[in-house]
């Protein structure tokens, strides 16, 4: 069994929403992740912090693509190959 997904949001002083995900993003929870992305971006740009994510499947990548024009991503080296191969690094500002 994988690591459960935890999603938290916070608003920064400049109004940017910070969505922090930890655990695994896969078929079992991608709808919750997508909903959190929709909520985080409803008023504008958001930062999606994936530094606590151990696994990101194609459903999670597709969810990120849906909001690519409204998000910035924070991640760690473990996810960089997936983000690079998917082409997401060409559309979204990614910070390691």
Show me where the domains of the chain are located: 6-95
Band (pLDDT 50/70/90 cuts) for residue 15 is: confident
Q: How far apart are CA 92 and CA 72, in angstroms?
A: 6
Q: Which two tokens stand for residue 52?
A: 């606590």
Residue 26 CA, distance from chain mean position: 12
Q: Is the pLDDT of residue 1 over 60?
A: no
This prediction has a pTM of 0.94
pLDDT of the residue at 3: 74
Q: What does the pLDDT read at residue 46?
A: 98
Question: Superfamily for 6-95?
Answer: STAS domain (3.30.750.24)
High-pLDDT (> 70) share of the chain, %:
98
Q: Where does 11-96 have alpha helices with state H? A: 30-41, 58-66, 80-86
């Amino acid at each position: 069994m994988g690591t459960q997904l935890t999603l938290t949001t916070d608003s920064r002083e400049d109004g940017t929403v910070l969505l922090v995900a930890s655990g695994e993003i896969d078929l079992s929870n991608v709808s919750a992740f997508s909903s959190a992305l929709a909520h985080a971006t409803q008023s504008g740009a958001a930062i999606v912090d994936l530094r606590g994510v151990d696994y990101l499947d194609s459903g999670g990548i597709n969810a990120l693509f849906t909001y690519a024009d409204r998000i910035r991503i924070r991640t760690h080296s473990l996810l960089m190959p997936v983000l690079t191969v998917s082409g997401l690094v060409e559309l979204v500002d990614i910070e390691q």
